[in-house]
Chain A
Amino acid sequence: MAFLELNDIEKSYGENRVLKGITLHVEQHQVVCLIGASGCGKSTLLRCVNGLETISSGDIRLGGDVVSGEGVDLNALRRRIGIVFQSFNLFPHMSVLENVTLAPIRVLGIDRTDAEANALALLSRVGLDEKAGAYPDQLSGGQQQRVAIVRALAMNPEVLLLDEITSALDPELVAEVLNIVRDLAADGLTILMATHEMSFAREVADSVAFLHEGVVLEQGTPEQIFSDPSEPRTQAFLHKIIEAGRL
């Protein structure tokens, strides 16, 4: 039994079937990367895991408990699963420190002083403790995304979902964000990430899943997927990536 199990997930928007039976297992302390063309269902899958989208069939288990379907306490689930979005989604009316401490104070009921001390410790880990009083609009994209990661980490999640977190960044800012993810992976955080950063996936992932039109077409170690993919469509996808000079 894996730590996070997605079993035969299906998701439709009306007639449009986005996920057509996805099974994916993530072990504790593993980093699993989802790759695939835009629109293949990577983001939808991640949003299903933390209950932002409801699944049409299948089930999701976290640590053995079923966490999908009716009657699940989504607020409790989301305390255990953090997510970072492509477009940062920081709260523009709050300072960096307020962004990071909002959920610990209001959801976990942590004392403000403790929450702020913890937030500052996390911020200094990503080199942003000096920006604690700044507002999101005053930060670069890379800084905003680092704050968004810290905001998720402040809840001390068991699993972190990363939804193409570098896709909205200027190229020179990608590294500062990926370095943090690399550190988190090294520390043993369980991570499920959708990404277009193939070389990063190759370096950090324990397992890579290639999604195509709502199914996992192929899954394996980075070595298998990137060097010796068995599926022709995986080969075609990777070929295009190599042509674009991104691998």
Chain B
Amino acid sequence: MTTRLEPAVQPVRAARPAPAGHANAVLVAALLLSMLTIGIAAWAAWLTIEVAEAGPWRIVLGAATIGVVVLAVLTLVPVARGFRERGRCLRAFAADDVVVGRAARYRATHAGWLAMGYCLPVLVIAVFTLFLLANDHAVQSTFFDTAFMAQSLGDILVAFWQNVQIAVLAEAFVLVWGLVIALARLLPGDAGRPIRWLATVYVDTFRAIPSIIVIYLVGFGLPLAQVPFFSDLSPLWAAVLALTLTYGAYVAEVYRSGIDGVHWSQVAASRSLGLSYGKTMRFVVVPQAVRRVTPPLLNDFIGLQKDTALVTVIGTVDAFTQAKIYSSNYFNLSSVTVVAILFIIITIPQTRFVDRLLERDARKQRAKG
């Protein structure tokens, strides 16, 4: 039995493609979203000015929310441009100018998407403002009581110095200790195998234990066991030791991935010049690895800095402990917000600094000399 081949059905070309296509839908959606954004922003602004107590927050939040309303209104600009392009598109298609019509249609659609893209962050800010004002602005006064924030700032800053000290000391140790562990994990040969195992066990263990538990065990356990030297550690040094143990394991893995990432031909070239394994590591491999791992290293350091707040469990009076004292005395969490803001303030410049450093390094190696 033979099967008869059906002639392929060719789709019939539309005599005239729909000129505006889905630009219509995009523009209408953009217009609606824009209106919604303006509505919510205006509502939030009105509530802020109505509800907020007189004082600095009224001015700050009032100005900010009016700024948000302005931004919301500005999203109408691309919407309007989109409708203008849509009109141009329709006229061009009517005049049979497909190329111009197509370009105008593209610009109309793009303007619609652009407007919707900008609506979203404005909407989020407006909704967040409403959240702050919820429950008769209880949220705002719980988290952002300016007077209370100002009152607690002095003591918290003093206590924050503890966090800074712990972080800087631990980071200095971690840089060295992590590299030692990484090199131990990469030791070559049979003789190195037990050392590789040891290092692996260390990394696996300390990456598994939550740092709060390491801090607790080191801070309370060592003095309790009356280990010579270690039992005399002050809480600050106990915290430094605990964080070095924990983050040394993380950073060792970061270093190791960096060292693995240096191409073996670099090692071949270095060994061929007569450099020993150790010198090859020191002059050729590790310097290249460190450049590679600087961003993930900073990532771990930011984690370490934040974990300095955990020393509160061993009774060190750091910024968080101090803030908790304030908050429990006054039933207000704004002092803790101060700590959060302090952590943000010290973290962001570091990120930019490392970006800068890497950029400078790359420029040095790449720029035409």
Contact = CB atoms under 8 A, between A and B. Distances in A.
Interface stretch (B39-47, B135-143, B283-291): B283-291
B369 A138 contact: yes
Given A103-B275, A106-B279, A107-B273, A85 B268 contact: yes
Nearest to A130: B369
B275 A91 contact: no
Interface size class of B (residues with CB under 8 A): 20 to 34
A58 B364 CA distance: 47
Interface string A74-85: 111011001101
Most buried by A among B269, B271, B274: B274
A90 B265 CA distance: 9
Contacts, number: 72
B272 A78 contact: yes
A106 B276 CA distance: 10
Nearest to A79: B274
B351 interface: no
B293 to A, nearest CB: 13
Contact of B365 (A106, A137, A151): A137
A165 B270 CA distance: 17
Interface of A: 47, 50, 52, 74-76, 78-79, 82-83, 85, 87, 89-93, 102-103, 106-107, 131, 133-138, 151-152, 155
B366 A89 contact: no
B265 A89 contact: yes
Closest 9 CB pairs of A and B: A134-B369, A89-B269, A103-B273, A79-B274, A78-B274, A107-B274, A138-B369, A135-B365, A83-B272
Contacts of B269: 85, 89-91
A137 B272 CA distance: 21
Interface string B288-314: 100100000000000000000000000
Contacts of B368: 138
A168 B295 CA distance: 32
A75 B274 CA distance: 4
A138 B367 contact: yes
Contacts of A87: 265
A160 B21 CA distance: 70
Greatest chain A CB density within 10 A among B265, B270, B272, B291 is at B272
Contacts of A106: 275, 279, 283
Interface centre among A76, A87, A91, A151 (most CB of B within 10 A): A91
B266 interface: yes
B265 A103 contact: no
Nearest to B268: A52
29 contacts: A52-B268, A52-B271, A78-B273, A85-B265, A85-B268, A85-B269, A87-B265, A89-B265, A89-B266, A89-B269, A91-B266, A91-B270, A92-B288, A92-B365, A93-B291, A93-B365, A106-B275, A106-B283, A107-B273, A107-B274, A107-B279, A134-B369, A135-B364, A137-B366, A138-B365, A138-B366, A138-B367, A138-B369, A155-B274
A158 B366 CA distance: 34
Given A82-B273, A152-B273, 9 more contacts: A76-B274, A85-B265, A89-B266, A90-B269, A107-B273, A107-B279, A138-B365, A138-B366, A151-B273
B369 A102 contact: no
Contact of A135 (B275, B288, B369): B369
A72 to B, nearest CB: 13
A49 B269 CA distance: 14
A79 B208 CA distance: 46
Interface in B315-369: 364-369
Contacts of B271: 52, 74, 78
Contacts of B275: 75, 102-103, 106-107
A52 B265 CA distance: 11
Contacts of A78: 271-274
Interface in B171-228: none
Contacts of B279: 106-107
A151 B272 CA distance: 11
Contacts of B288: 91-93
A85 B284 CA distance: 17
B283 to A, nearest CB: 6
B252 to A, nearest CB: 22
Contacts of B283: 102, 106
A234 to B, nearest CB: 30
A74 B273 CA distance: 10
Contacts of A79: 274
A47 B267 CA distance: 13
Contacts of A134: 369
B20 to A, nearest CB: 51
Contacts of B270: 91
Contacts of B276: 75
A179 B369 CA distance: 24
B231 to A, nearest CB: 44
A46 B272 CA distance: 11
Nearest to B291: A93
Contact of A93 (B268, B272, B287): B287
Contacts of B369: 131, 133-135, 138
A79 B273 CA distance: 6
A107 B272 CA distance: 11
- The winner among A85, A93, A102, A131 for most chain B CB atoms within 10 A is A93
A102 B276 CA distance: 12
A136 B368 CA distance: 10
A89 B288 CA distance: 13
A91 B265 CA distance: 10
Contacts of A85: 265, 268-269
A85 B365 CA distance: 21
